[in-house]
Chains A and B, each alone.
Chain A
Amino acid sequence: MRRITTRFALLIATAAVAPLVIYGVVSVSSLRDGTRESVREGNLRVAGQVAEQIHLYLDNNTRVLRSAGLELTTMRLQTWQQQRILRDQILAFPEFRELSLFDTAGKLIATSRLSQTTLSMPAVGSHLTSGVYIAPFRVDDDLLPTTTIAIQMPQAGWIIGELSLEELWRMVDRIRVGREGYALVVGEDNRLIAHGNPDEKRRIAISDQTNLNPEIRFALAARQDDAAKFDEYLDEGQRSMLAVAARVSQIGWIVVVEQPTAEAYATMHHLERQLLAAIGLALLGTVVLGSLWGRSFIRRIFALTHVTRAIAEGKLETRVALSGQDEIRELGDAFNSMADKLVELQEDIRKQERQAMFGRIAAGLVHDLSHPIQNIGNSCKLIMKMWDDAEYRETFRRMVEREMVIVKRVLDDLRNIARPIPLERFPVDLNRSVAEAVEAMQQHAETAGLTLRAELSPEPPFIEGDVFALGRVYRNLILNAIQATAPGGLVVAATETLADRVQVRVYDTGCGIAADRLSAVFEDFVTTKRRGLGLGLAISKKIVEQLGGTISVASEVGKGTTFVLEFPRTQARPIALVAG
């Protein structure tokens, strides 16, 4: 049986908990994926902006250089004018530390340096992009990043500038992603050019960088594969880092934005926790509210069930008090009305049963007593006439005594049914008492045309009992069996000795007792006979139970009935046997 609480719990689970849990899982998963994607994209945008800024920075400086070159090569200027222009450029554009102009043969025309220029033409075979050559990054003696840009002026030589990349460093230094996210730049030779973390700049100056550094490896991978823009790895301090890469266009530099994953995904984790907390609260609320509401619903069901059981147990005074203004309340009210009606009906039935019982008792009494009383009455009338007949007086006396015994027995039965029957308890040989009872009833059996016999246990069964009361019980059972068996049938009284008990069975091949009446055969005033109070089996049951035994009946209509008596076995022996 599936209980209603289980059903209700399943209802809450399927209608609320399961959807919430599924929603939670999906939401957390979506949140995680979405936030990761968002963080990565955000950082990638930052990296892209930095790369763009670097490109613009280089591009702007290239334009300045080209512009100066054009001015120097297209206008017919004296050397001192060219020098003036170059030196003014140096002052106007602090990024340039030195500018020099060379002719097509590589001979120096003018320089901003006061002493010898440190610049030279690009080596043959150097890669030019639109006539521009950008030398590999290097760190100068002041530990500052430097490069050289050489621009080939059409048929006019070269203008070359030594570009200090401090602004690059400052640009990178300004990039902060969260509190611990930094940008760094890796050159085309996979050397670290710039690092936004001031404590990491030393790596640039120490020049002991290796490709084993995780960020360098990542930059290398990003350079080789455009799709490799994201990665997570452990840095040298074993911190998990999220890195994104963007390429600086036209040069082989890679901008990496690095941020500890703990910080990068902090918002995601925070939102996750909030979402999980919200879902948890929703779940808890659902369960609690569901339980509370369910309890109020189920409690009323239970109340109804409890009251119904009490009613079934006979506590007809029990009523149910249900709160609410719903169908359950109506059900409770209807139940109470039904219980009220039930009580009324019970009273009516009891009244009727009492009346019926009284009627039956009265009829039984009338029937059982009218005959003896009638006989006594008739005999009294006759004695008045035949008082002189001594023989008749004797007959009268015997008749009155006999009839009074019957009356007394009827009255004793009535009295005994209401109180314990006084019994003597002595060791009794059941074989003997059963045999005596069978013998006493042989005449009845012969008269009824059926066989009555005893089947006794080879091992004598001894019990503590009242021989006279037991005899009455056997005679009652045998008489009932004879009365229920058609001529030619069989009635047997058998004994059997068990380990600690003794059994007496009285069975017949009579008409049997209907199943619906079987349970009531031991009740008072229940009889199938046309006459009698119906106390025989009730008194027999009472005698057996007072002696510590049990009586039961099994019957099949048309086949016969078996009464089984069981008593505790005793080791005591009857006095006659002991003496003998």
Chain B
Amino acid sequence: MQARGVFSVVVLGLVVGGSGCSRYQSPPPSSGPVRLAIGAALPVGGSSSGLPALRDSLFISEPLVSVGLDGRPTARIATNWTWLNGSKTLRVTLRPNVFFHDGQQLSAELAAKILSPRPQGFGLSYPSITSIVPSGPDQIDFNLSRPEAFLLSDLMDASVQMPDPSDKSRVIGTGAYMLSGQRPNPVLRAFDRYYQGRPAIDEIAIKPYQSQRQAWAAMMRGEIDALHEVSREAADFVEAETTVKAFSFTREFYIPLVFNVRHKVLQRRDVRVALNEAIDKEVVVREGMRGRGEVANSPIWPKHWAHSAAQQLFAYNPDAARIRLDAAGLPLPKSSSSPAEMPSRFSFTCLMYGEDPRFERIALVVQKQLFEIGVDMKLEPVSMAELGGRAAKGDFDAFLFEMNSARSLSWVYLFWHSPPEGPFVKTGYASADAVLDRLRHSQSDEETRLGTADLEGVFYEDPPAIFLAWEQATRAVSTKFAVPDEPGRDVIGLVRLWRPAARDLRASR
């Protein structure tokens, strides 16, 4: 499962020390360094071992490009890019005056060396890369064996970083913050030569807590200044607090009920269509998510530039579902063969991550709605490890979890293309392979739009899952800090733009 999906709750400790110089409006002089402490609860049974990777990717390292809210690549270390050679070469122009934390200036040669032979992380397009070479003092060429439309999407996860010679567990990047201090609680210090200007917050500390209550209590005691995650239940009350500001946004994660199309019943398209018709997604969002989410109709990011507004959608129609199931030869019996079982058209088992209460209520809502059309969905709560393992092996009937769209089509490809391309989930679903391949090799926006529309059509005609909802996340930040509120953006990712609020420069403990 993707790291971001695992680390939905992140422990970040950012200690920002001292209000140093910044290209942005400098805060008034304070009596000491400006520190920011962000707390978050560890996932139940989880560990903080993945924290460094995420911390690095968010603050220390930067990729060549980022993904915008519409799914298009946005400039980061690279300022622009051009496809050449029949879309077999991607020429990327690097931003000038980008420095690594050790003082080295980024050059095309250095960037090519770092990224070669392939960029870090998993990229769908990376196997097609034949070489990464500098083509100018500030340009590098990614040469491909074939057109890969997803290369730029993949590069969003490719951090430009180097291992720290003094500590191989650390990396040196070009991000707004650099790692400082020793284990077990290193801090992140503002990088003076950051190309977008030194951040106003000097130090960031990440503090892990065993539960959200502990993290929230710590925030109320003033030990931390920001909370990475506020539960749906508590969000209303947090939003009413005057000393804390809550920022909610729709995450790029969606919650599907994924079918294993190898299941003897679920392999049937008409059954999967009926199951989709049986679900009132508005109710799922309202009752299962306390209204903190948006209805999902496909795994494609709803704000994606290529998303089709004319997409066909499943309407909630339990009667049609019943009829369809009857027609499929799955009538509702008057009694069950076993008194311990409910009479049902058929039954299947749905795995769900049992230690995260977010999914239990959603699962119950879906189970109830399926029960009403006579389908017995048994819920089996499992651990994260078991869920991931069984999903990867295809050892399930269905599972309910969250999946990352990354606001890109490459991740749709990764999850919904049949193996061996997608390493994470083996559903046996291959209906979208052809369209996904077309998308992967498209060479124009028009081709991408048409392919996306076709893909959404496939997901409607032959649904591999019930795409339930897009998740909404809420961050809480003390009003001691002025936070740029860009609708739809995760404020945690904009920490480099935070500054102390003018009225209060006291440091957090």
Contacts and interface: CB of A to CB of B under 8 A. Distances in A.
A205 interface: yes
Interface stretch (B66-74, B158-166, B235-243, B498-506): B235-243
Interface in A347-362: none
A205 B381 contact: no
Interface string B342-380: 100000000010100000110111011001000000011
B340 interface: yes
B23 interface: no
Contact of B237 (A84, A87, A114, A169): A169
7 contacts: A94-B287, A114-B380, A115-B381, A142-B234, A169-B237, A199-B242, A199-B243
B211 A84 contact: no
A213 to B, nearest CB: 16
Contact of A114 (B216, B233, B360): B360
Interface stretch (A39-47, A75-83, A336-344): A75-83
A141 interface: yes
Given A91-B287, A114-B381, A205 B242 contact: no
Interface of B is mostly: helix
A205 B216 contact: yes
Nearest to A173: B240
Interface string B401-415: 000000000000000
Contacts of B380: 114
A201 B217 CA distance: 10
A91 B243 CA distance: 33
A143 B216 contact: yes
Interface string A78-118: 11110010011011001000000000000000001111000
A80 B340 contact: yes
Contacts of A94: 287
B217 A114 contact: no
Contacts of A166: 233, 236
B128 to A, nearest CB: 43
A90 B217 contact: no
Interface residues of B, number: 34
A113 B367 CA distance: 13
Interface residues of A, number: 32
Interface of A: 78-81, 84, 87-88, 90-91, 94, 112-115, 139-144, 164, 166, 169-170, 173, 198-199, 201-202, 205-207
A58 B113 CA distance: 67
Contacts of A144: 233-234, 237
Top 10 A-B pairs, shortest CB-CB distance: A202-B220, A198-B240, A141-B211, A115-B381, A141-B213, A142-B231, A114-B381, A115-B354, A114-B379, A198-B241
B130 to A, nearest CB: 50
A81 B342 CA distance: 7
A140 B216 CA distance: 12
Nearest to B382: A115
Interface in B180-215: 211-213
A94 B283 CA distance: 13
B262 to A, nearest CB: 24
B232 to A, nearest CB: 9
A198 B242 contact: yes
A57 to B, nearest CB: 17
A410 B501 CA distance: 121
B212 A91 contact: no
Given A87-B368, A114-B354, A201-B241, 4 more contacts: A84-B371, A114-B352, A114-B379, A144-B237
B241 A199 contact: yes
B287 A206 contact: no
Given A78-B340, A81-B342, A87 B233 contact: no
A78 B343 CA distance: 11
B221 interface: yes
Interface string B121-153: 000000000000000000000000000000000
B329 interface: no
A205 B213 contact: yes
A91 B365 contact: yes
Contacts of A84: 342, 371
Contacts of A199: 241-243
Nearest to A88: B368
A78 B344 CA distance: 15
A113 B213 CA distance: 21
Contacts of A198: 237, 240-242
A78 B354 contact: no
B243 A206 contact: no
Nearest to A196: B240
Contacts of B354: 114-115
B342 A90 contact: no
Interface in B287-331: 287
Interface in B243-259: 243
B339 interface: yes
A113 B342 CA distance: 18
B77 to A, nearest CB: 39
B234 A143 contact: yes
Given A78-B339, A91-B287, A142 B233 contact: yes
Contacts of B361: 90-91
B341 interface: yes
Given A114-B352, A114-B360, A143-B216, A79 B211 contact: no
A91 B364 contact: yes
Interface string B46-74: 00000000000000000000000000000
Contacts of B220: 202, 205-206
A362 B340 CA distance: 163
